[in-house]
Amino acid sequence: MAEFNTVSLEKILFLDIETAPQCPAFADLSPEAQTLWGKKSQRLADHDQTAEELYNRAGIYSEFGKIICISVGVLKTIDGILTLRVKSFASDDERRLLLEFNQMVTRYFNSPDHYLCGHNGKEFDFPYIARRSLVHGLSIPQCLDTRGMKPWEVRHFDTLELWRFGDYKSYTSLELLTHIFGIPTPKDDISGDQVGHVYWVEKDLPRIATYCQKDVVALVQLFLRFRNVPLVADSEISYA
């Protein structure tokens, strides 16, 4: 990926999503959806866990989950100083959230010289956004619609893939990478497996948005470390 070392940092949209099960509880699903979740969740089962017991993990699947927050980050050099602007699209209304996000991407980050970047974004964030957009009858931004594209035509960076250097034996979390690179951890409040509870039980979407924004900041700083350039100073990070 030769472009990694040469693409302008200002041409990259860094993003992270948070998802939750579509319903508060397994019992709220229709009988048909309960049956389908039972089949889908079999791969998650540990010993004799039931589909109901596994439903708290439904958010990881775009067929049974929904996006409740997308946070994005954009780098810009001002008077020779690298700055980071972070913004969140958070809503209980997934269609509205996706519409606003897709419109922003189409307007500002949809040319051939723009890139998206996420941690495990190629396997999770990017396809999840595209699939849920389709579910809601929304147009997929060109930079996310990779159907029929050749690998070298896809303008996506993935810090998980960049760290692997071709080694696919295991998954390395963003939390672990921030630890070994001395970057402040984004997991100082909640973790991904707690998002569904915070959303449906505590009903604290702003807390989830803050958590998502921390992930984006950590993602940006990790990318900069991979490029061997100075990190963005805390004083140069702003939030919309």
Q: What is the pLDDT of residues 99-130, one digit of tens each?
A: 999 999 999 998 889 999 999 999 999 999 99
Mean pLDDT of all residues in 164-184 = 91
Strands 12-21 and 115-118: parallel
SS3 state of residue 14: strand
On the question of pLDDT at 1 being above 70, the answer is no
SS3 state of residue 89: strand
Mean pLDDT of all residues in 160-188 = 89
Who has greater pLDDT, 112 or 158?
A: 158
SS3 state of residue 116: strand
What pLDDT sits at residue 47?
74
Q: How confident is the model at residue 2 (pLDDT cuts 50, 70, 90)?
A: low
What b/e string do you get for 57-82 counting C-beta neighbours within 10 Å, with b at 16 or more?
bbbebbebbbbbbbbbbbbeeeeeeb
Name the percent of the chain lying above pLDDT 90: 81
Say how far residue 84 (Cα) sits from the centre of its chain: 17
Mean pLDDT of all residues in 147-161 = 90
What pLDDT sits at residue 148?
87
Mean pLDDT of all residues in 133-139 = 97
On the question of pLDDT at 11 being above 80, the answer is yes
How much is the mean pLDDT over the chain? 93
What pLDDT sits at residue 110?
85
Say how far residue 168 (Cα) sits from the centre of its chain: 20
Query: Which of these, 88, 71, 107, lies nearest to 219 by C-alpha position?
Result: 71
pLDDT digits (tens, 9 = 90+) for 31-86: 999 999 999 998 887 778 899 999 999 999 999 999 999 999 999 999 999 999 99
Q: How far apart (Å, rounded) are the C-alpha atoms in residues 191 and 205? A: 14
Helix spans in the chain (H): 31-40, 51-54, 94-108, 125-135, 159-164, 174-180, 195-200, 205-226
2-22+64-228 under CATH 3.30.420.10, yes or no: yes
